[in-house]
Amino acid sequence: MPELQAAVKAVAPSARFLKSCSASGGTPANGEWFPGAGSEVKTTETVSEMLKAIREGGANQCINYAIKFDKWPKDKPVLLSKKDIETITSVLPQKVKDDCHFQHARVKAFAEKSRASMHDFEYEVSPGCTLGTKLVPVKTAGCYVPGGRYCHISSAIMSVTTAKVAGVQNVVACSPPMPGTTDMHPATVYAMHVAGADHILAMGGVQAVAAMAYGFLTDAGPAEMIVGPGNALVAEAKRQLFGRLGIDMFAGPTEIMVIADDTADPFIVASDLVSQAEHGVNSPAWLLTTSEKMGKDVMIEMDKAMDKLVVTEPSNPVKEAWRDFGEIVVVSNREELAKLSDLYSAEHLEVHARDLDWWLTTLRNYGSLFLGEETCVTYGDKCSGTNHILPTKSVSRYSGGLSVDKFIKKLTWQRMNREANREVGAAAARISRLEGMEGHARAGDDRLRKYFPDESFVLDSQWKRPKLA
């Protein structure tokens, strides 16, 4: 779209595309890049119909959809018991369990640091008038963990752990059974259990989101917050349920951007771009560089890396993703790189360049930032400690990723003595009348008359609203 092309030129007038996205509306450079843009009407209608059926049919309708879409046996409970969890996870080698505990410990430690940075406070703004903030976790949260072609134990750890550290009393976790089976992936179940899930549902899709939202199938009650990534149907279900409950974000396909100067290693840059493009056929992978040679070298390394990957995984979608959603942009200086990066607001942003502190200070919009070749998105996705449930579709322009604060309400409170009413009551009455809200004003008037019956106050606004003809 012309206005978006103009937006790119406004922040990076020297920009040149060595490789551009071929999909219509596929990047911030040539289409509307925000949640819901390009959403299919069919997806919206399908989800709406399913949610309506579940509202009317309750838990039984959730089960019916699980039987239909997840191929779940009619006589098999979807709520896992303690014995179910033990049986399912008993097949896991100890090393798998050890890795899960390693991952959990680091994510939990980071979440605890985040929680420690938040605190209640109170202060006396004027004599007799005390104001404060109280932090209160939601009571019940739902954590959706994707299934499909991958085993997303990391999503289980990231979502459930963070909710429990935040102080959520009831955490319901759900994930669909493995394709072609009637069991959840044992590692996913183990990760949910280690992270502290209070209830585990072997269910995926719209029906799982709705079950958590409406409080079906467990005694946890309706969720007040639902988090976690999922496919287009899951994302749309969360969007339609927003308002009834809170959600972490309306997520789109995963994204990676790499910023590279002439010091970067094109082999490593390509490796990292491939690592995220494998998520799906519509997963963007973007390279911004100040070196045309770097851009061309990365294109060569991309072909090598993709060829090598599909030899062992022929169904891997990386080539389609790179063909349709890959970009390489060359600009003349790092200032333009930073501005263009902020325009894109990528979910994952790696910097392979000199002066990493400058980039940390300058960059403003990203889901998570990875500074230097020595770290990468894979580390953050799996086990370095930061959360991998992050904003896509340029949402990082106004919001961050999943953290403990997503599950915590920041509630304000106040307390006054009668003496404080002299100042506040009179001012509130005058401001209310200035705004034309007489009922509000009288709440102040009446207190002043009660507490100070022998005193008079200036309660009328000094500005009078003109009478309407």
Owner of token pair 């920041």:
410
Mapping DSSP to helix (H, G, I), strand (E, B) and coil, where does residue 417 land?
coil
Helices 292-312 & 318-325 angle (0-180, nearest 10):
150
Of 104, 185, 279, 348, the catalytic one is: 348
Beta-carbon count within 10 A of 67 CB: 15
In our burial notation (b when 16+ CB lie closer than 10 A, e otherwise), range 439-459 reads eebeebbebbeeeeeeeebeb
Tell me the CA distances in angstroms from 81 to 10, 76, 115, 218, one per residue in order. Answer: 58, 12, 31, 11
Which residues does 54 contact at the CB level (< 8 Å), separation at least 6? 61, 62, 65, 206, 207, 210, 211, 214, 216
User: Annotated catalytic, 348?
Assistant: yes
Tell me the CA distances in angstroms from 216 to 74, 140, 142, 158, 208, one per residue in order. Answer: 17, 13, 12, 24, 9
Give the pair of three-digit tokens for residue 260: 């590279």
Distance CA 196, CA 305 (A): 38
Q: What is the DSSP string of 269-303?
A: HHHHHHHHHTT-TT--EEEEES-HHHHHHHHHHHH
Alpha helices by DSSP H, 40-146: 41-69, 82-89, 94-116
User: Annotated catalytic, 347?
Assistant: yes
Of 236, 327, 336, 347, the catalytic one is: 347
* Phi, psi of 28, deg, nearest 5: -60, -20
Q: Which residues are catalytic?
A: 347-348
